[in-house]
Amino acid sequence: MVKDTYESPLSARYASKEMKYIFSPDKKFRTWRKLWIALAESEKELGLPITQEQIDELKAHAEDINYEVAQEREKIVRHDVMSHVYAYGVQCPNAKGIIHLGATSCYVGDNTDIIIMTEGLKLIRNKLITVIRNLSKFADEYKALPTLAFTHFQPAQPTTVGKRATLWLQELLMDLEDVEYQLSKAKLLGSKGTTGTQASFLELFDGDHEKCKMLDRKIAEKMGYKACFPVSGQTYSRKLDSQFLNVLAGIAQSAAKFSNDIRLLQHLKEIEEPFEKNQIGSSAMAYKRNPMRSERIGSLSRYVMVDVLNGYFTTATQWFERTLDDSANKRLSVPEAFLAVDGILSLYANVADGLVVYPKVIEQRLRKELPFMATENIMMDAVKKRGADRQQLHEKIREHSMAASRVVKVEGGENDLLERIAADEAFGVTLEELEKILKPENYTGRAKEQTEDFLNECIKPVLEKYADVESDKPEINV
């Protein structure tokens, strides 16, 4: 490991080797050569004097890139694309005259960026599926376990642990829809020339406009795409980068919401993220079990949500057919967002797969609050069965609730609301009868049924569609 040079934490600590390769120099330069081969093949098919022997020579050296030659050449010409054209030509002397024929640098640069972002998003999609699969198992297992729900982080009507998980799942489904939509409209830049007019290709094809149009179609097909952008300047619209970043930032939002909920639940000691046998929670307090992975999800998610602004500003500041203030920015903002979300989803999958639930703690907290929530049922039961005066009982419940609340908040005692009601002759009910009314499952509404319906109607079709996506166990480095 190199100790005297800065290295991005996203590469060193968080992102998977698969995502790091997608954004690696090797992936980029191999894709450049594939694009040069596609260009040469298409130009040959459209009548330019390019031989099959030249194309075969290009294909023979598509993978064995002579990086040293390219690096030495770039020191002289200060141009990365032309340096690699030169290096490719050294390996392919018979074909060097037709490499990059009629194209500008953005032919390889921009088309490669689109291909890399598309492949990166496909990997993100697969990781989303893994998280959805893990969370759906959790939701199904705990679909009927009552828990105290919160609004404003104040006690509210009960829900179930599984129902709460469907809220996380639903946001992930929304993200998956955005991912699929973005992938569904994938287009290459194609080969548009210096200002997007295809002037160089029109000259190569002796003024044949149809062949210029066919060139784009052939390149797209050879690279596995359905189409190219119909018009462009020298580059594809940088709005495309913004759209990819928007999708990634949406995933970050969902992940951060989940991680915050887990952090709060871990504070309540109701649900914890996985904690390994030899893991240390605190250097000073040996007893601590900090939600470190959830905190890391939130931390990385914040970075991605802020990073999306780079795409907005870069798109907005492109002048006419192109300017170069996009290049340095997108070299940072786009790969780092993909690597960060890759790391986020690895953490998310890990946490979702190993959540630890403490039902007794959940029940204890719920039972402390249930007497307050059950007062409407108690009051209506007294009115219905004994003909009591609702208004009179309402005032008595208010008084008893205030007194019981004081015991809890001021004196630090237990909630004695039920005992107070049982001792009040106006209600005509025993403590045993009140305990029967206070079954937690009687207060969760349709939470269990909603969870079942959601898993069957919304999650199951998605998991069946992506049944071939393997749920690997992500390696968490720290």
Q: How far apart are CA 63 and CA 367, in angstroms?
A: 66
The residue to which tokens 């959790």 are assigned: 138
DSSP 98: G
Q: Is 271 helix (H, G, I), strand (E, B) or coil?
A: strand
Containing 154, the helix (H) or strand (E) segment is strand 154-155
Contact between 315 and 225 (Cβ < 8 Å): no
Count of CA atoms in the C-beta half-sphere (13 A) of 250 = 21
Read off the tokens for 157.
């009507």
Most distant pair of Cα atoms in the chain: their distance: 104
Backbone angles phi, psi at 160, to 5 degrees: -125, 160
Does the active-site annotation cover 282? yes
Active-site residue, from 209, 282, 327, 405: 282
Does the active-site annotation cover 333? no
Active-site residue, from 152, 259, 283, 327: 152
Q: Is 359 helix (H, G, I), strand (E, B) or coil?
A: helix
- Amino acid letter, 62: A
Q: Which of 164, 321, 292 is nearest to 234 (CA)?
A: 321
Q: Is 146 helix (H, G, I), strand (E, B) or coil?
A: strand
What residues are annotated to the active site? 152, 282
